[in-house]
Chain A
Amino acid sequence: MVIYMDNAATSYPKPEEVVAAMNYFFNEIGGNPGRSGHRLSLRSGEVVYDTRDALAQLFNIEDPLQIVFTLNATMAINMALSGLLKPGDHVITSTLEHNSTARPLRYLEGTGVELTRIECPAPNFQLDLDQLEQSICKNTRLISILHGSNVVGTVFPLEEVGKIARKHGIYLMVDAAQTAGAYPIDVQKAGIHLLAFTGHKGLFGPQGTGGLYVNPELKLDSLYRGGTGSRSEEDRQPEFMPDSLESGTPNAMGLAGLGAGVKYILREGLPKIREKEIELTNHLIKGLNSIDGVIIIGEEKAENRMPLVSFVMEGVTPSMVGEFLDERYDIMTRVGLHCSPWAHQSMGTFPEGTVRISLSYLNTPSQLDTLLQALYELSREEVRL
């Protein structure tokens, strides 16, 4: 049995009902959602709507139709940034961003969008809120930040950022790829205008699912246009949500699984999920700190971080640690730069990167003990690499 500790890349295993819902869709439903009027198309549409509804409940979104489904967080982020920012606009972001924000922003910078990156200083790698507020100027349109870091695990204080955005009349876009499903998010309370999420991590859905919440105040230009199953007599894209941004047949079978994942989370309850993840994280941090030569990156406490720890080991490269854990102990981790050169540059771990252990609600303390024992043996050079 493998021990899977790469949940920040994608969660595994998934709750049983996720697989069951996809299986049921595949065998019993199968129709194209919202395209035809027959029973199977209708049921497919109901499944997709049900998933929208469950997500709206999870994120406290008033109208489920303000959620657009995408393939992943990356597509949602691109949709939001390119759909909103115009040459001459100023956007503020953080130095911890994943490449799925960094690259679209660098691209837009080339088209005349101004970009400011806010430092997240050691040892906690928290967003510098004073610097953030001071960076706001006349043409600032958007603050675009992640919620939880995929590299150091830091969770940014969304409500504080939301207050700053509101005070200055600018939009707030949040990349919740890491936190959705694992950390409470309330778009109304935090004042979030755009929320990008991916289905295959904390939400326990399959790969190829994700989405973007768009506040009704906002109108985004669509990256692409096409069939929506609505207004078929017209050759112009409809203006209403979600159709305006959701052309083409969605991944309905995947969304059936995502819906089951979200319902699983709603049923278990986020407080319970959070509590277990904090316990696991404390266990992991304590264990790692007791191993000679292990240096944890980032001192943020478990309450303000995702269940994820990055570390380096003196004298052993991250890639060797990863290989050793995989081959000798069947433990899956992710080493290197985690698609996040900005973050590793600001942490001083570029270009070697780190070893990242990322947990989920479904990991166990005994799996952690196996990991810690393995690292202990490695540190004692009791094993030959």
Chain B
Amino acid sequence: MTTAAAPSGAPAGPAKPIGEAGRPPVAARRARSGGGTPAMIGRSLRRLPRQPDTVIISVALPVMLLLLFVYVFGGALDAAGGRTAYLTYVVPGIIVLASGWGAASTAVAVAADMTNGIIDRFRSMPVRAPAVLTGHVAASLAANAVATALVIGIALGLGFRPDAGVGGWFAAIGVVAFYVLAITWVSVALGLLAGSPDAANGMTFFILFLPYVSSGFVATDTMPGALRAFADHQPLTPVIDTVRGLLVGGGADGSDLAAALVWCAGILLVGYTASAVIYRRRSAR
């Protein structure tokens, strides 16, 4: 939609104001329009460490949760294997849970942008329309990378001993990143849909809740019927099982991996499309 500025001379327009030497042609005064995504990513990254609540939710809370699960529930939940066995079991669940939190805060950031007027300024600039959204998504990926690294680091300190090789690690990181990307775009859509940051916060509730009803913290076959059926068929279970398989299970189960990829691709498609549509709708009235 945006076009490159004419290479030389001013575009057909009004006569230049007289007086002085006249203004130099637009093309000479600035580069061409479009893009803007790197600048937006830079913006969102700068903002990250300046939001204490986001830092706490996406970094400190996962760590606390890890400790809570391992030391408070760990003994009771899996008396046979002891804490270390439960630690090995629960780390992939914590990683995915933390990803959800990081992603959910994106909804709040997007909703804030949409309601406080800055979006009007961005939209009146020659910037690729959803660059601002891309910036938030990139920030979410970065925040999640930090949180995930922290959780894994602490888990290693507590005795977490993954048996994955380099390939396994890359595959696990790739799956988590794909999941984060997908769920972040859903958060973006929710943030666009919400009328305010508070509403956006409320709407991401299910993202925060889903991991608990999955194979993340206890095996699904310990759950009562209906809950188990849900847990077995919701997207997080294959994602968590895949990560668990890759890190500590000697390789991912093929059907888990396929299910995880299909779920993430589907969620990404829905989230991205919904974001694009809602963004355009909310902008072009």
Whether A associates with B in a native complex is: no
